[in-house]
Amino acid sequence: MTRPALAIVTGARRGIGAAIAIDLAAHGFAVAMTDLADPADTADPGAAHTLHAIESRAGRARFFPSDLARVEAHPALVQAIADWGGPVEVLVNNAGIAAPSRGDLLDVQPRAFDEVLGVNLRGTFFMTQAVARHMLQTTPAHPARPRTIVTLSSVSAELASIERAEYCLSKSGLPMLTKLFALRLAAAGIAVFEIRPGIIQTPMTQPVAAQYGQRIAEGLVPMQRWGQPEDVARAVSALASGQLAFATGSALSVDGALSIARL
């Protein structure tokens, strides 16, 4: 019996990452979920809930505790995941953190800057590097379908928010990361994509939900609604399916037309 294709989803215990893990499992992937929290942690049951949602639908998933900022641990993490589920065929770079606080651009502190870029950009780069090396060194279990790397950036890769500079800077590097890995891996048939979510209703946006809700009501988002984690998850699954076999290095906005320039 052929193993299901194996996908890694970083930052999968809640929000967008959880929705992606559940949707990929529904499309037949075995899912390795990584995040800081442990499923046994009763104070933060998100990972356990996501695992249950997958397993209750007869999907296969396992949680691997991981700190994306600890880049030296990435090769061992990828090997542990491969030992569990076979060669990695999909990587979804979802994990990321918000700016510790919103405020004046002139007040950003080096510690906050380093923390955010250390996860969102540096951590994502070296996780992608570790998985790319693994992919090049292994034979895919499903050779008829291209292997895929999808990185979630943000509309903040292009739209400036001066009250959270470190976050915007961390996301602005991910489009180039996507292009670089797309070029490096194209000859091996590994497709690399970027997804730019807009204003998505998640625990990360909960502290500013009232502010965003008001701005959406006033027309900030042309589709006139919040985005949902499932909106992003469906886009990821479409890219991971391998149906866009001659596309790589492309960016897809999932933002209700928020990022389209208007007069």
148 lies in some domain: yes
Asked whether residue 247 is domain-assigned, the answer is: yes
Residue 206 placed within a domain: no
Look at residue 228 in the predicted model and tell me its pLDDT. Answer: 97
pLDDT block averages, 10 residues each, the chain of length 263: 89 96 96 84 76 92 97 98 97 96 95 98 98 96 88 97 97 98 97 97 88 93 96 97 93 97 89
Is residue 261 one of the residues assigned to a domain?
Answer: no
Question: Is residue 167 among the annotated active site residues?
Answer: yes
In angstroms, the Cα distances linking 169 to 97, 106, 113, 175 are: 12, 14, 9, 11
Residue 140: the pLDDT is: 87
Instruction: Write down the catalytic residue from 29, 63, 126, 167.
Output: 167
Query: What pLDDT shows up at residue 2?
Result: 75
Tokens of 26: 């529904």
Please state, in angstroms and rounded to a whole number, the distance separating the CA atoms of residues 213 and 84.
42
List % helix, strand, coil for the chain (3-state, nearest 5): 45, 15, 40
pLDDT of residue 43: 56
In a domain, 84, yes or no: yes
Range of the domain at 41: 6-200+228-254
CA distance 241 to 253: 18
* 222 assigned to some structural domain: no
What pLDDT, on a 0 to 100 scale, did the predictor assign at position 47? 85
Task: Please name the residue that has the structure tokens 């596309």.
Answer: 247
CA distance readout (Å), 133 to 110, 143, 185, 189, 256 = 32, 17, 10, 14, 35
CATH number at residue 100: 3.40.50.720
Is the residue at 92 inside a domain? yes
Residue 250 included in any domain: yes
State the pLDDT at residue 3.
Answer: 83
pLDDT at 39: 63
Count of the separate structural domains present in the chain: 1
